[in-house]
Amino acid sequence: MNFNKIILCLFLLPCSLIGFTQPSAEKSPVESDSIWVNSLLQQSKRYFTDSPAKAISLALQAKNLAEKIHYQSGEAYALKNIGITYYYQGNFIEALDFYHQSLRFFQSINDYVGISNIYNNIGVVYYDQSDDTKALENYLQSLKFAELSGDKLRILSALNNIGGVYSNRDSANDMALQYYEMALPICEELGKIDELGAICTNIGTIYLEKKENTKAMFYFNKALKAYRNPEDALDAYNSLGKLYTSEKKFDSALQNHNRALGIAEKLNIKLSIVKSLTGLGDVYIKKNDYRDAIVYYKKAEELASKINASHELKDLYQQMCMAYEKLL
């Protein structure tokens, strides 16, 4: 079974957005207003998952002010923030709409970093909808503009995500590893701890699929050590749960999947909730507890259907079919 991979840098604001303080009286009106736009964007970012209406409201305030002062970069990032908010709610059509609006602004000002970032985010949406062809097209565009900009953070994000697409095919796992391994030293060079954790989780997942559990555990543990905030380790916990399930260490498997589920529910990340519930169902399948497995699969299937999580639905239907057959 292939597992979805972590997507990096969905909501990093640009390094060029500086000065998130109240406008100073010494600033010109336009400078003061642009600083306030950036402040609104930063505030919007804080509410992506736990208060989406507030995130969108703040981003719209930023967009309206940016439009008034002809601050196109501010408009682009405001539209991007709205797209991110919709993405986390599983509203993929709306997310794509706002991402494409944002992309047009970035293209109009030749902002290669912004263009790379938006192509990455568009790729994420297609990836989650199981459209690997469009996902890969957008990730490659993201890599192209990241390289043109010389932004190593964007380069590593694109490399990671390209690896994620290839990892969906067992026959391309080695190709996926190549991209992950190109991204890994960039993480270490930049000191990007969270991204290091994400890529280590991805590498570990491939080794798990190859049934090389010792190597998988090494990278999962490296990921956990890298994350500064336990909430960032959500995907690592789910991956550890799968590893322990494969080794029939069911108590540890349940502990890790439940930990991931608690984080996903707290942050209201619907796709991660689906993955955690599916992982719990997988544990009960291995324990021959098919009734409990079906309970978790049904919860996961209901939410996965709402957000059109095609990768997850495919695996869920296979597992549910197996569980029902065992009950007959």
Give this prediction's pTM.
Answer: 0.72
Q: How many CB atoms neighbour CB 12 within 10 A? A: 14
CB atoms within 10 A of CB 191: 8
Tens of pLDDT, residue by residue over 131-156, are 999 999 999 999 999 999 999 999 99
- Extents of the domains making up the chain: 29-110, 131-225, 229-328
Q: What is the C-alpha to C-alpha distance for residues 199 and 192, in angstroms, rounded to an integer? A: 11
Domain 29-110: which CATH number of 3.30.9.10, 3.40.50.1820, 3.40.50.300, 1.25.40.10 = 1.25.40.10
Fold classification of 229-328 is 1.25.40
Residues making up the chain, counted from first to last: 328
Q: Is it the case that residue 19 has pLDDT exceeding 60? A: no
Statement: 131-225 belongs to CATH 1.25.40.10: yes
Name the DSSP class of 172. G
The mean of the pLDDT values for the chain is 88
pLDDT by residue (tens digit) across 49-78? 889 999 999 999 999 999 999 999 999 999
Query: pLDDT higher for 32 or 83?
Result: 83
Sequence-separated (6 or more) residues with CB below 8 Å from residue 227: 193, 194, 197, 233, 236
- Work out the average pLDDT over 286-312: 93
| Composition of the chain by helix, strand, coil, percent to 5 | 80, 0, 20
**Region 193-221 average pLDDT:** 92
187 in Cβ contact with 196 (< 8 Å)? yes
pLDDT band at residue 30 using 50, 70 and 90 as cut-offs: low
Q: What's the rounded mean pLDDT across residues 291-311?
A: 92
pLDDT at 11: 35
In angstroms, the CA 14 to CA 109 distance is 15
Q: How many CA atoms lie within 13 A of 277 on its CB side?
A: 23
The pLDDT > 70 percentage for the chain reads 91
Longest dimension (CA), the chain: 77
131-225 and 229-328 have identical folds: yes
Q: CB count, 10 Å around CB of 108? A: 11
Which amino acid appears at position 291 of this protein?
Answer: R
